[in-house]
With several copies, the nearest count.
Chain A
Amino acid sequence: MKIHEYQAKEIFSRYRIPVTNEVVCYTVDEAVAAAEKLGLPVVIKAQVLAGGRGKAGGVKLARTKADVPELAGKILGMDIKGYTVEKVLVAQGVKFSSEFYVGLTIDRNSKSVIFMASSEGGVEIEEVAKDNPDAIHKFVIDPDLGLTPFLARKIAFALFTDFNLVKQGADLFQKLYRIFMDTDSSLVEINPLVITEEGKLLALDGKMNFDDNALFRQSAIEALNEPTEDELKELDAKEKGLTYIRLDGSIGCMVNGAGLAMATLDLIKYFGGEPANFLDIGGSSNPQKVIDAMNLILSDKNVKVVMINIFGGITRCDDVARGLISALEKIKVDVPIVVRLSGTNSKEGLEILKQANLPIVETMSQAAQKAIELCGKN
């Protein structure tokens, strides 16, 4: 789960990490009032749950009074990577010298939280990682110790020479770690972290992602969630035991198991088709699940054909076949369906499907090719 910059910075503030004076605004009038209150110049920043908003023109500096309504008006309503900008953050313009990057995330290899710090802040950190990996200092945090004062100091010494900044940094980094742990984050970033004219560290921007698996114990964080329409669909699917992700193609997919579902999408692409979705229905033959899944697939008007790919493991193929038929009897499907059934009791399952006049194929590859063929005809 992601939250907006302004929400991340509200959390930072609660932990006494210094952030810019700022106001979140939903209208141009609010932006004008905020600029009045904060004093010029102000930075107006689109609040959308997508990266690269700067490049998309979603961040602008308003120097004059006239700039504010003009720029706020431009940004509000703007589309950034499919997200409509519904609010902007109006932040006091700050004079600063250097820009740093600091971030915390999970490191799969050390199986620990890792602290990343770089003197090359203000740009996309992935670019730095690619072009100049040595410019990013990485510090593995021992889970039993947490971010100790000495390690926080060591990180700070890697960024700053002035001991006053080292002390501020060490303190700030420990707070950032506490935020990460307290909120079950998967990513916490400040980019850029700047040194103001007064020699103080300040978080100019903030980013936080959270571990979805831990939201059950993070109700305050969960309350910040603003799912998009697509995400609402995904969440709704999840409640029904389905994992659904909408894609851009026209071949609807229904598969049991995430890995197999991914491999199915790969196969469709491999043979030249375009999948309309990722959909994992998990491991049961419950007809209701199939109905829900089919409704979900068909809610996407781009879908021209549905490919069902089931591997029968613990759940036997004959049970799956019966579940499929019982489901398809209950809903109207006006696009062609290709079914591939394999695994435990697949012969019996295929026989059942054949009797119900469902188009069946033997292998995944055949299924993908057949689906693409049918898609072309539609």
Chain B
Amino acid sequence: MSILVNQNTKLLVQGITGRDGSFHAGKMKAYGTNVVAGVSPGKGGSAVDGIPVFNTVEQAVKATGANTSIIFVPAPLAADAILEASEAGIELVIAISEGVPTLDMVKVMPYLAKKGTKLIGPNCPGLISPDEALIGILPGNIFLKGNVGLMSRSGTLTYEMVYQLTSNGIGQSTCVGLGGDPVAGLYFLEILQMFQDDPATEAIVLIGEIGGDAEERAAQFIKEHVTKPVVAFIAGQSAPPGKRMGHAGAIISSGSGTAEEKIKAFEQVGVKVAKIPSEIPDLLKQVMKK
């Protein structure tokens, strides 16, 4: 078992004829993900890597039964692509596109709620249930099937963490890159609940970042709803106030959303926080022994 994506995932790639879309469609297919269709307006009828391409998401869903979509379209068009997927009945949308205007996402959210569409991203690396399905731009080879659920606001830092887990023989149920934009889809709370409910997940790794209060809220949620062990890491402990470090999310302003506060929030609810990334495997081993 795993969460969100698995062998029943039928993946549609929106923007499949673009540079990133075609490259990663191939990578995902090679990993074993069931990539059933692509969409690229005006390219309907063609194929990429053997994957049939359609003009609209509606046509693709009708023809292939796609239930999940990954978005590689350029940022100015990404919100519209998300809406198109939602309108066509796609259940889970993963938006990789980086640089999507915040107000575009603000306008998208109520529609997704109305249609019951789940969203991950934008500006995220995607997610993977090892040996089942890889949806995103994550390097499949570093993951190992297992029983740790991982969620992160960051990309390469996730890989770094996963690599350390895998190197230590700790496998993963599902790893989710949530993205770092100010307005994003599923976040810590929803994913924590899913891991809590997933029989295949025994422990949870949460990789946070400075800015906002998502980690503080996650800590509160863990206290109230999560019985499985959780360990955490917060990136940006040394970031100077007011500087934006790559992720739009990672801005510290005036003493709120600092790493210090987040670490304190976690420790208060019994979540162990790694000081440096290399501590994570040991912390996990400690909490999982119990």
Contact = CB atoms under 8 A, between A and B. Distances in A.
Direct A/B contact, Cβ within 8 angstroms: yes
B275 A270 contact: yes
B53 to A, nearest CB: 13
Contacts of A113: 103, 106
A344 B182 contact: no
Given A184-B101, A263-B235, A270-B275, A314 B56 contact: no
Contact of B110 (A124, A143, A270, A313): A143
B243 A142 contact: no
Interface in B68-120: 75-77, 80-81, 83-84, 87, 99-107, 109-111
A214 B238 contact: no
Contacts of B27: 314
Interface string A205-228: 000000111101100000000000
A73 interface: no
A106 B102 contact: yes
A186 interface: yes
Contacts of B254: 124, 126, 129
A269 B109 contact: no
Interface in B45-69: 55-58
A262 B77 CA distance: 29
B75 A213 contact: yes
A262 B249 CA distance: 12
Interface string B256-290: 10010000000000000001111000000000000
Nearest to B189: A109
A266 interface: yes
B245 A261 contact: yes
Contacts of B221: none
A339 to B, nearest CB: 15
Nearest to B114: A144
Contact of A166 (B41, B102, B103, B139): B41
Contacts of B250: 258, 262
Contact of A150 (B81, B154, B237): B81
A145 interface: yes
A343 B140 CA distance: 11
A109 B236 contact: no
Contact of B159 (A150, A154, A313): A313
Given A153-B56, A265-B239, A313-B156, A258 B246 contact: yes
B81 to A, nearest CB: 7
Contacts of A145: 83, 107, 111
Contact of A257 (B58, B157, B213): B157
Contact of B87 (A150, A267, A344): A150
A291 B214 CA distance: 37
Contacts of B154: 257-260, 262-263
Contacts, number: 207
B151 to A, nearest CB: 13
Contact of B278 (A149, A311, A365): A365
Contact of A130 (B104, B106, B217, B255): B255
Given A184-B101, A257-B155, A344-B142, A217 B76 contact: yes
Contacts of A173: none
B142 A313 contact: yes
Contacts of A267: 276-277
Interface residues of B, number: 76
A126 B183 CA distance: 22
A342 interface: yes
A342 B163 contact: yes
B180 interface: yes
A150 B212 CA distance: 29
B102 A214 contact: yes
Contact of B156 (A142, A247, A256): A256
B147 interface: no
Contact of A111 (B106, B246, B276): B106
B111 A144 contact: yes
Contacts of A313: 137-139, 142, 156, 159
A260 B237 CA distance: 12
Given A143-B109, A148-B83, A270-B275, A106 B183 contact: yes
B163 A343 contact: yes
Interface string B181-219: 011000000000000000000000001011011100100
Contact of B243 (A148, A245, A311): A245
- Best-buried of A108, A142, A163, A283 by chain B (most CB within 10 Å): A108
Given A143-B109, A163-B42, A259-B158, A247 B240 contact: yes
30 contacts: A111-B183, A144-B111, A153-B56, A157-B56, A166-B41, A211-B103, A212-B248, A213-B101, A245-B243, A247-B240, A257-B155, A257-B156, A257-B246, A258-B155, A258-B180, A258-B250, A259-B154, A260-B154, A262-B157, A262-B235, A266-B236, A278-B245, A311-B163, A313-B156, A314-B27, A314-B137, A314-B138, A343-B142, A344-B142, A364-B276
Given A258-B154, A260-B160, A267-B276, 6 more contacts: A143-B106, A213-B100, A259-B154, A259-B207, A260-B155, A275-B238
Interface of A: 106, 108-109, 111-113, 124, 126, 129-130, 142-145, 148-151, 153-154, 157, 163, 166-167, 181, 184, 186, 211-214, 216-217, 243, 245, 247, 255-263, 265-270, 275, 278, 280, 283, 311-314, 342-344, 363-365
